[in-house]
Structure 1
Amino acid sequence: MEDSQKIALVRQEPWLAQYEPQIQRRFDRYQEAIRGIDDFIGNILEYASVHNFYGIHFEAWRKGWVYREWAPAANQLNFFGDFNNWNRSSHPMKKSGRGDWEIFLPYDQYKDSFIHGSKVKVHVIAENGALDRIPAYIRRVIQDENTHDVAGQLWFAKDFKWTDASFTTKNSLKQPLIYECHVGMSQEKLGVGTYQEFEELTLPRIKAAGYNTIQLMAVMEHPYYGSFGYHVSNFFAPTSRFGTPEELKSLVNKAHEMGIAVVMDIVHSHAIKNVNEGLNEFDGSEHQYFHPGDKGYHEAWDSKVFDYAKREVQQFLLSNIRYWLEEFHFDGFRFDGVTSIMYSHHGLFMDFDSVDLYFDKNVDEDAVLYLQLANTLMHRINPQSISIAEDMSGMPGLARPIADGGLGFDFRMAMGVPDFWIKTLKHKQDEEWDMFELWHQLTNRPQAERSIGYAESHDQALVGDQTLAFRLMKEDMYFSMSLLQQNLIVDRGIALHKLIRLITLTLGGEGYLNFIGNEFGHPDWVDFPREGNNWSHQYARRQWSLVDDPLLRYGQLDAWDKAIIKLANDYLLLASAPAEQLHLDPDKKILAYQRGGLIFVFSFHPTESFFGLPVHVKEAGEYRHLLNSDEKQFSGFERLDRKVNYFTDEHQCIKLYVPNRTVLVLEMK
């Protein structure tokens, strides 16, 4: 085949040439699926609208409520709740030929009992017995504080008045600066934070910090708080433990008023295996929403795996995407567990050290197709929506247009970067840090695919792992963060914390992510209330009082984060071309590069400072001192004079004083 006829991904990435048939098949299956959807129902928007058919809806033309459920293998469904005094047999549903069940409740007869706030369930009689279940498309689920019984709740609140019509995600799409956060643990109190508290207390902090995007975790209803939102039970219900749907809408609306995009962490990679709360065995079979047998069980996550080939499952998940975008005005999604979705082995115990692994029999082609359809739908609903893939495998084309042979994501998480920092801090002394390896690990990514770089996320903050701050300072950070005392361990930790975050921000991708509180070195891990900690909220919160205390060094780390985020905003650093290396000295631990018109000079040397260090630059002229990590306001030692400008010599070099464990940022005057 002539080069001009090859699919773009192969044409631009010649190393994939031998896999062109698989990549072409990927694209052909997508085109075939779109044609099939168009023939079946008209277009993908209609295909993704079953949430407006199933579930509970008021139909004005019929003057009453209708409840529909897809449960093909069930023998009988009976609707019950507060409206019929919890009678499991008085309201049987009728089954259609395609496995849908339906019941109609006339308004005149039920207007006083089928009301806002009342509770409902569905009694399903099937092969697995007679069980009380939560309707699959329910919009709100609550748990009784005393009995812990879970039920669906009717939610007939008045339409929310949005004021965000003029909001645009163009800044976030250009260079997403993401603040990853969890509403429940976002407050300092020993308890669960609310949507309202997040809007009033946390959003202003995020705005002041300069981030243009927030990534909300644990939004979809999950019965176990300690799952961090990853064992989803009710896909169309925003978790009620944080407040009402209107309060979530208000949070999103307020963020938009502040110019901040809101991306939701969406979990379509698996579902909770619980029968009482979730989808598992809803109609009595194990293969309604999920694969049957071992294929439908995720051993590592103790959860169920969707059958992405099934039309009804595709429609369920795609409608879920449409629902969150339209009903709550989310600006996009960070898709959790994309590696698990794409491969039948879920990426478990895999190093992905061969290109063959991206195209072998373990790739779930139906799951890959689902991801392509999900991205198509998102961008059809809102061309400015943001889709981010959490994939550790490195699947080629993941964040490339579908027409190029890709999967259509806008960004991919650079998951190798935090792993690199963990390995470096765990296994290498400061003197052993390899500048060549550092440059390679932070810049080695597909140039045609945009990545979100990050030094740490929620994964590194959870119990069982450690934040960067704790790895660097250990228990000393509990006792020696006062401005009134010196501590060599803390001095080292703060210096490296600043360097790691700036070099990751400027080298690690075309976007950047920080987990709530890590910007100021939050001292504690994240551990949700559980039996093992006596159901304590001690470590499921953020101690903002630490960063607000003028006598502690946490505030100085926070000031540094504000400064580097401002730098990224002012110079559109992450929207700029990849960095160009200017200088690398493995012995002196010096690394210098240029990006976005700025010069970055890092010294990772643990002890030595260097005078008259020559750094060759691209343009001759005068360079001014823009920022350095050794300033006192950033918990530094004030060894550099910001008033000093630097002139190139006859070799087009600038000669610098570079203190140990410091970064200088320069720009041409």
Structure 2
Amino acid sequence: MTTTNGVKECVPPQLDNLLKLDPYLEPFQGEIKRRYNVFKSILKQLETEEKGLDTFTSAYKHFGIHVDSKTNAINIKEWAPAARAMYIRGDFNNWQERQYPFTRDEWGVWRLTLPPLSDGTPAIKHGQIIKLLIEKPDGQLEDRLCPWSRYVQRAEKSNTYHGVFYNPPADQIYKFKHPQPKKPERLRIYEAHVGISSWKGEVATYENFRVNVLPRVVRQGYNTIQLMAVMEHAYYASFGYQVTSFFAASSRFGTPEELKELIDEAHRLGLTVLLDLVHSHGCKNTVDGINMFDGTNGCFFHDGPRGYHDLWDSRCFNYMQREVMRFLLSNIRYWLEEFKFDGFRFDGVSSMLYHSHGIGKFFSKMNI
């Protein structure tokens, strides 16, 4: 039998083993098969329309802000389908508003190339503050952070965050020294929050965790650490579950290079490192989040009531939107490739699977 998308219907691999492992799933075989075939259909679309999953999930390498290693030109690429115009400004141009306009293609993707300075260096210096200036559908201008930002910091005398151009010199980029350990047969997981990993009354650091916590984890017999609150979040008390910048390692604890060094040291000690990945929802912030990025209520999230999670007071992603899918899958690959995380703990999966978000539901035999 073939689906409407031309994909032959198939049974999920090892379904029988899954049902033996969890007999409670037996009444839901049909739904499991349906979802698996939806997955196969989408995978076929990506193969025919996006040059395959490998290319599709590599978007983090060209979306956002990147320096051309050969020319030192800065290439910027953003998706904001409803925006009327887009500009970049910051310390590098004394915050002039319309000096550097982007061009838009038919898919709502905006592009801009900043040529190098006369001395051959990039037009924006490492560490300079930058913002994207978005002209919304109503004509108003609004400063926003790049959704693909790799480093953001809290502004002085403020609780909001600003974008930082992250392009450290080659001698400051951490180079991994140790191979990733073999996957453990049985996980013994130590869940940890870097910021509260010290006995001192302060926000702890990646360095403190590397030097003082990792050895203790090994001594206690764990083989895996699961790091919470790594993805940047403006609201510290959310424990990292109100993510504002999905590609930025939290600057509260140090630099991206210090996080890489932490992970590399964990690998040297034989520890598998998991990231607590939050793709089940996003923070409602607009000043320093991705909510309403193009000036509409949708963009990365569902428009209307479906786009809100009432209990979490947050926004719900539109997973069937192609660019949202690109953003989130690329985010997964980014953390794997750039930071050498070994895997993930996916937060809030019931909210991703069900329109009800699993609210008020009991997932046990009692509910069958």
The reply to whether TM is greater than 0.5 is yes
Q: Does 1:341 align with 2:346?
A: no
| Residue among 144, 161, 169 paired with 2:175 | 161
Task: Tell whether 2:188 aligns with 1:177.
Answer: yes
Instruction: Choose which of 26, 29, 32 in structure 2 pairs with 1:23.
Output: 32
Partner of 1:124: 134
Measured in 1, the distance between the counterparts of 2:355 and 2:345 equals 21
- Structure 1 residue 226 and structure 2 residue 240: aligned? no
State the match for 1:246 in structure 2. Answer: 257
Percent identity among equivalent residues? Answer: 41
Question: Whose relative contact order is higher, 1 or 2, with alpha carbons under 8 Å and at least 6 apart?
Answer: 2
Moved more, 324-333 or 7-16: 7-16
**C-alpha deviation, 1:266, in angstroms:** 0.4
Distance 2:108 2:50 in 1: 18
Question: What SS class does the counterpart of residue 142 from structure 1 fall into?
Answer: strand
Aligned equivalent of 2:81, options 61, 67, 72: 72
Offset at 1:24? Answer: 2.2
Distance 1:63 1:243 in 2: 26
Offset of residue 210 of structure 1: 1.2
Letter in 1 for 2:195: G
Q: Which digits, 9 at most, give the CA deviation of each residue in 1:35-58, with x for residues without a partner?
A: 111112232121111111211111
Residues 1:111 and 2:121 aligned together: yes
Candidates 39, 43, 48, aligned match of 2:48: 39
CA distance in 1 between partners of 2:160 and 2:31 (Å): 49
Amino acid corresponding to residue 209 of structure 1 in structure 2: Q
Q: How much has 1:21 moved relative to structure 2?
A: 3.2
Alignment of 1:204 onto 2:215: yes
Letter matched to residue 183 of structure 2 = K
* 1:291 alignment partner in structure 2: 302
Give the secondary-structure state (helix, strand or coil) at the position aligned to 1:323.
helix
Could you say which residue in structure 2 is the equivalent of 1:54?
Answer: 63
Could you tell me how far apart the structure 1 residues matched to 2:43 and 2:136 are? 35
In structure 2, C-alpha distance between the alignment counterparts of 1:16 and 1:268, rounded to whole Å = 24
TM-score (norm 2): 0.90
8 Å CA contact 2:205–2:253 kept in 1: the answer is: yes
Residue 313 of structure 2: aligned partner? 302
CA distance in 2, matches of 1:152, 1:75: 22
Moved more, 120-129 or 104-113: 104-113
Q: Max radius of gyration: which structure? A: 1
Please name the residue that 2:280 is paired with: 269
How far does the alpha carbon of each residue in 1:131-173 deviate from its partner, in whole angstroms, 9 at most, with x for none?
A: 11001101000112324452111111223211112x32322xx
Deviates more, 1:113-122 or 1:261-270: 113-122
C-alpha separation in 1, matches of 2:109 and 2:351: 30
Deviation at 1:345, TM superposition (A): 0.9
Q: Structure 1 residue 10: deviation in Å? A: 5.1
Q: Structure 1 residues 260, 98: closer, same or farther in 2, change over 3 A? A: same
Please tell me the residue identity of whatever aligns with 2:97: R
Q: 2:345 and 2:361 mapped to 1: Cα distance?
A: 22
Deviation at 1:227, TM superposition (A): 0.6
AA in 2 matched with 1:188: W
Contact 2:72 2:121 in 1 (8 A): no
Higher helix share: 1
Q: C-alpha displacement at 1:63, in angstroms? A: 4.3
Deviations 1:361-384 (A, max 9, x none): xxxxxxxxxxxxxxxxxxxxxxxx
Displacement of 1:112: 6.8
C-alpha displacement of 1:344: 0.8
3-state secondary structure, aligned to 2:45: helix
**Matches of 1:6 and 1:102, distance apart in 2:** 42
Identify if the C-alpha distance between structure 1 residues 127 and 226 changes in structure 2 by more than 3 Å, giving closer, same or farther: same
Q: Which aligned pairs between 1:498-577 and structure 2 lie closer than 5 A?
A: none
Pairwise mapping of residues 129-528 of structure 1 onto structure 2 (< 5 A)? 129-157=140-168, 158=170, 159-165=173-179, 167-171=180-184, 174-352=185-363
Q: Which runs of 5+ in 1 are unaligned?
A: 358-669
C-alpha displacement at 1:102, in angstroms? Answer: 1.3
CA-based RMSD:
2.1
Distance 1:6 1:149, change over 3 A: closer
1:244-294 deviations in Å (ceiling 9; x for gaps)? 000000000000011111101000000000110111110011111111111
Paired residue type of 1:120: I
Say if 2:160 and 2:234, in contact at 8 Å, map to a contact too: no
Q: Retained in 1: the 8 A contact 2:183–2:272?
A: no
Q: Is the 8 A contact 2:24 2:365 kept in 1?
A: no
Structure 2 residues without counterparts, runs of 5 or longer: 1-9
Aligned partners of 1:282, 1:247: CA distance in 2, in Å? 30
Partners of 2:257 and 2:163 lie apart in 1 by 17
Contact 2:68 2:74 in 1 (8 A): yes
Distance 1:21 1:140 in 2: 44
| 1:9 corresponds to | 15
Query: In 2, distance between residues paired with 1:112 and 1:142?
Result: 21
C-alpha contact (below 8 Å) 1:82/1:120 kept by paired residues: yes
- Please give the per-residue CA displacement for 1:339-394, whole angstroms capped at 9, x wherever unaligned: 1111111111112356987xxxxxxxxxxxxxxxxxxxxxxxxxxxxxxxxxxxxx
Residues 546-571 of structure 1, C-alpha deviations (whole Å, 9 max, x = no match) = xxxxxxxxxxxxxxxxxxxxxxxxxx
What is the alpha-carbon distance in structure 1 between the residues aligned to residue 96 and residue 47 of structure 2?
Answer: 42
TM-score after normalising by structure 1: 0.50
Give the 3-state SS of the residue equivalent to 2:117 in structure 1.
helix
Seen in structure 2, the aligned counterparts of structure 1 residues 313 and 106 have a Cα distance that, compared at 3 Å, is same
Say if 2:75 and 2:112, in contact at 8 Å, map to a contact too: yes
**Superimposed CA distance per residue, residues 614-649 of structure 1 (whole angstroms, 9 cap, x where no aligned partner):** xxxxxxxxxxxxxxxxxxxxxxxxxxxxxxxxxxxx
Letter in 2 for 1:331: D
CA contact (8 A) 2:206 2:262 kept: yes
SS in 2 for 1:132: strand
1:78 and 1:250 map into 2 onto residues whose CA distance is 35
